Structures are given as structure tokens and as C-alpha cells.
Amino acid sequence: MSEQNTIQDNIQDFLKGFEQNASDFLEGAAETFLGKADTLRDGTELDPVSLPRDLYAHKNAQTEWWYYTGHGETSSGRSFGFELVFFKRRTDLDKFSLVPLRFFGNPIYFAHFALTDCDNKNFRYSHRKSANGFFDAPASASEDHFHLRLGDWSLRESHDTHVLRATIGNDVVFEATLKPSKSPVLNGKNKKGVSFKDEGEASRYFSYTRMAMEGDLIWNGQTEHFTGSSWMDREFGTWTPTEKQKGWDWFSVQLEDETELMCYQIRDGSNKISEFSSGTFVEKDGNFSPLAKEDFIIEPTGYWKSPSTKAVYPSGWQLKVPKFYLDLTVTPVMQEQELDTRGTTMIVYWEGACEVKGKAGGKDIVGRAYVELVGYDRSHDSPNLAYFLMGNNFEFPSKSIFG
């Protein structure tokens, strides 16, 4: 038995040595052809948010996103929800197993777009990526002003208004202008936009919690004008994922009394809620208050199992913020609002339009919300390089929106 153990140990040592040598070789090749990887830490990681500069892209942020959700109603009375998000990712520190990801692009741009038909219970989405390679749609993110594009999708600012454009397939075009109704909210306990995810690990994070929305939605050659209300989250930085950051449940709530609530629970590997979970409550006049983990309670009221990925998500929640006398029930307008984006951002997540009812200060209140659930599917723990390289410009037109 001792001799057999020695042989197994020798094999393990050989494999470890081979893996290390292969990793060193590939990293050396990347440095030779692409230059040395940047640490992406320049000492500004915990600096306060500075506006308008931080609305624009950053050269050295590892991860940044511009995240819009909202609820609209067309001129014919049809209700819908939407999600549109652009990501920019520096790949200096990323690897697929032993392979430096910067071989395939640095930075890489991603975008997701989803529409929920609240009346007919239809859900469609599309997702894209680009490293500005030979087969990629052109992508860019300006560091001098607010302008992003990935193919014919775009985000930009004009006269203090955010202008959005995205498509699904050949039959859906979404174009909207969003005008902030309130000043941006700087999230984090010190109200400076520094949002800690773990000890010493933070993003910069600010939100436009209420934006008047107007635009046009085109499908199957028909155009309908719409109005509504949107929410925008902007987050960027270089932080290290830890055991305490295995998933999260994020809520953005707009209530009819013109107050807003953002809160999120970060979950660790054993599904325990991290003490770094936090939120922000925004009053009608725009004044805002940070929320710590102990300031809010999120309790699932049901669950939904995805028929495609088999992931099980909470579906419906009781959301309470006692210090602001909020007791809310959040209900998805439909359960099937899951996005499989393994061909772009390499994750499966649920993000959906929700309805809100409950009490605020003892009075009945209604509102709308968007909820994002990440980490219930764990396929990203073992990402597939071939799937990532082949998966691009996916469209998921399961049913015609407003069909």
C-alpha cells in the first residue's frame, strides 16, 4: 500500500509541475505578444464617486457596467418591462483554466437586453459580446463623455438625457430617452458611492433611481410610442471575488409616493447572508439614507424551478424596512424571466419585472420593481471556453413580444 501511495504522489507531483509549467509558458507567451498584465489597482479603488466623470468609462477598472431597468406603457395601453446593460471587462487577470483570456481580447465588451410583456406574459432577450475582433461587431466606451456602443446597440447622453437603443432579432427595436427626475444617489454607508462587497473589496456605485422615460417600440413593422419610469445603476472597480460573494439578490423598487428603495443581499458559498449586504432608501425630495444589512428583511414567499437550466430561484418576496415603515410584497409579473448568457458573460441569472403592493407608513401603497438573482445556477464555476468563443450575438425570441 505504501508503494502504491508513493506512485500516486509522484503522479500528482508530476501533474502539478506540468500544469505550472504550462501556465508559466502561456503567461510568458501572453507577455511576449500582448505585454505584461496590469494589476488594475492604482490606489483609487476606494476614492469617492466623482460626477459627471464617473459616468464615463475608465481605463483601469477591471469590471464596469451601466445598468438600466424600467417599466413602460405603450400608446395602446400595453405594459412592459425592460433590462438593458452594457459591460466592459479588462481581462488582464482572467484565465480560462491555464489560458490567459487576454489572448482573445482586452477589453471585452458585453451587453444584455430583455423585454417582458406584462400583459401577455411573454419574455424575450438577446445578448452580445465584442473584443473588436475580425468577426465582432464594433464596440467602444468613451472615457471622455458618456457614449457606449456594441454594434447597433448604444447608450449615450445628450442634454442631460440618457438615450438608449437595442434590438432583438429583426423584428424588435427599442429606442428610449430617459431624463433623471432626481439627482444621482451615491450608494454605500458613507454616502460617497463606495460600496464594500467584503473587507477591503469595494466598487464605486451610484444610481439614478427615477428617470422619466419616453420612446418608441417597434415590432413586426409596427411602431408604438411609450412612456414610463426607469432606473439606472452605474458600478465600476477592481475588486476580488471572495467566499462571501457567491451570489446576490438585488431589488430596485419605485413606489407611487415617489420614494425608491434599493437593497441587495450578498450570499456566501453556504448561502449565508453576508454582513456586507446593504441598500439605500430615497425620499421624495431626493434625500437618501444608507441601509445596513440589519435595516431590511427579505423573505421569499415561493420558488420557481427553471425548465431549461433546472436552477431553483426564489419567486416572490416579503420586503421590510422597519425604520422607514415599509412592508412590501414583491411579485414577479411572470416567473420565466431567466437569462442564459453563458456565451457572453458566462452566467445564468434571473432578472425580471415585478409588481409591488404593501404598506408605507401604515398606508396602502403600490409600485413596481426589478429583481436580479445571481448564483442560483453554478455553471459559471466551470466555464466552457469553446462555448464562450462560439457564443456571440445570441437572440432568444421564444415568443413575439406583444404577439
Q: What digits encode the pLDDT tens for the residues 349-386?
A: 999 999 999 999 999 999 999 999 999 988 877 776 66
In this predicted structure, the answer to whether residue 222 has a pLDDT above a threshold of 70 is yes
Q: Does residue 345 fall inside a structural domain? A: yes
Same domain, 1 and 133: no
19 — pLDDT class (breaks 50, 70, 90): very low
- 239 lies in the same domain as 171: yes
Domain match, 301 and 353 both: yes
Share of residues in the chain with pLDDT > 90 (%):
70
pTM for the model: 0.90
pLDDT for 194: 96
Tally of domains in the chain: 2
> Does residue 401 form part of some domain?
no
Structural domain contains residue 289: yes
Maximum Cα–Cα distance for the chain, whole Å? Answer: 79
Residues 382 and 368 in one domain: yes
| Confidence band for 220, pLDDT divided at 50, 70 and 90 | confident
- The whole-number average pLDDT for the span 59-82 is 96
Evaluate whether residue 403 is within a structural domain.
no
The radius of gyration of the chain's CA atoms, rounded to the nearest angstrom, is 22
Rounded distance between C-alpha atoms, residue 260 and residue 251, angstroms: 10
Asked if residues 362 and 325 have their Cβ atoms less than 8 Å apart, the reply is: yes
Same domain, 17 and 43: no
* 76 & 5 share domain: no
Tell whether 44 and 172 lie within a shared domain.
Answer: yes
Pair 391, 259 in one domain: yes
Answer whether residue 147 is part of any domain.
yes
| pLDDT band of 40, cuts 50, 70, 90 | confident
Q: Does some domain include residue 325?
A: yes
The CATH number of whichever domain residue 109 belongs to comes to 2.40.370.10
Q: Clarify whether residues 145 and 207 are in a common domain.
A: yes
Same domain, 72 and 2: no
Query: Which residue range(s) make up the domain with 94?
Result: 37-396
Does residue 402 sit within a domain? no
Domain check: are 85 and 20 in the same one? no
Does one domain contain both 185 and 45?
A: yes
Residue, of 120 and 29, whose pLDDT is higher: 120
